[in-house]
Amino acid sequence: MSDATMDRTFAEPAEADAFSGIPPGKLGMWWFLASEIMIFGGLIACFILFRAAHGGWRAESADVHWRIGAFNTLVLLTSSLTMVLAWEAVKTNRPERVGRFLGLTVVLGLTFLGVKGYEYSREFGAGFTPFSGLFWAFYFTMTGLHALHVFAGIVVNSILWTRAARGRLEGIQHRIEYAGLYWHFVDVVWIFLFPLIYLS
C-alpha cells in the first residue's frame, strides 16, 4: 500500500460537526459507547435482579477468586493510566513516547486476558461451567463479553502502536484519543463487574 493510500485510510476529519460542534469521530465513539452502556448495563441489571431474587448466591460467589479479580483490576487501572499517557504524549508529537505507552497498554491488556484465562482454567477444573447454574451462566457471560471487548481494544491499540513505532503520528492522533475512550470504558465496566461478582 502506498503512503498516500495509507494516509487516506487513516485520515481523520479534524473539523467539528456543524450541528453539534463535536468532531464526528468523537461523536461516533460516544454513540457507540452509549450502545455499549445498554449492553453491559442490561446484563448487570439482570444479574442484580436475579441475584436478589435468588437469595444472593452467597455459596456460588464464594467459589470465585477475589484475589485474582483484584489483581486484574489493578492491571486494568494501570492500563488506563498508560492509555491516557499515550494520548497526552500525542500532544507532544513524540511518536516514540506514544508508542511506548501504547505498547505498555497492549502488554497490560494481554496480562489481563492471560490472568482471566488462568482463572477460567481453575474454574473449569473445579467443575464450574456456564451450565452450572444461573450464577455461573451470568459470570461467564459478563466476564467473557468483557474479555472480548478487552481483546478488541488490544487489536486496535496494537495497530496504532505499530504506526507510532514507525514514527508516524500523522492521521492517527485522534484515533488514539478515540481508542482511549473505548479502553477507559472497558475499564469502567470492570470497575463495576469486580465488586458485583467477586466482593458482593
Partner 1 sequence: MDTVAENWLTARARDVRIWRWLVILLAVGLMVFMLPIPRVAIVALIFGVAVVKAVLVVRDYMHLKAEHLFIYVIAFVPVLILLGLLLALIPDIALRR
Q: Where along the sequence are the contacts to partner 1 (CB under 8 A)?
A: 20-22, 26-27, 30-31, 33-35, 37-38, 41-42, 45, 48-50, 52-53, 56, 66, 70, 73-74, 77-78, 80-81, 83-85, 88-89, 91-93, 180-181, 184-185, 187-188, 191-192, 194-195, 199-200
Compare residues 31 and 118 and give the one whose CB is closer to partner 1.
31
Which residue's C-alpha cell is 486484574? 72
Q: Is 32 exposed, middle or buried (0-12, 13-18, 19+ CB in 10 A)?
A: middle
Compare residues 8 and 54 and give the one whose CB is closer to partner 1.
54
Interior angle at CA 42, CA 65 and CA 31, nearest 5: 115
3-state secondary structure of 65: coil
CA–CA gap between residue 196 and residue 21 (Å, rounded) = 37
> In the bound complex, what is the minimum distance in angstroms from residue 2's beta carbon to partner 1?
31
Compare residues 128 and 194 and give the one whose CB is closer to partner 1.
194
> In the bound complex, what is the minimum distance in angstroms from residue 181's beta carbon to partner 1?
6
Compare residues 6 and 71 and give the one whose CB is closer to partner 1.
71
Compare residues 29 and 154 and give the one whose CB is closer to partner 1.
29
Which amino acid would we find at residue 136?
Answer: W
Which amino acid would we find at residue 117?
Answer: G
> In the bound complex, what is the minimum distance in angstroms from residue 162's beta carbon to partner 1?
23
CA–CA gap between residue 68 and residue 74 (Å, rounded) = 10
Which amino acid would we find at residue 113?
Answer: L
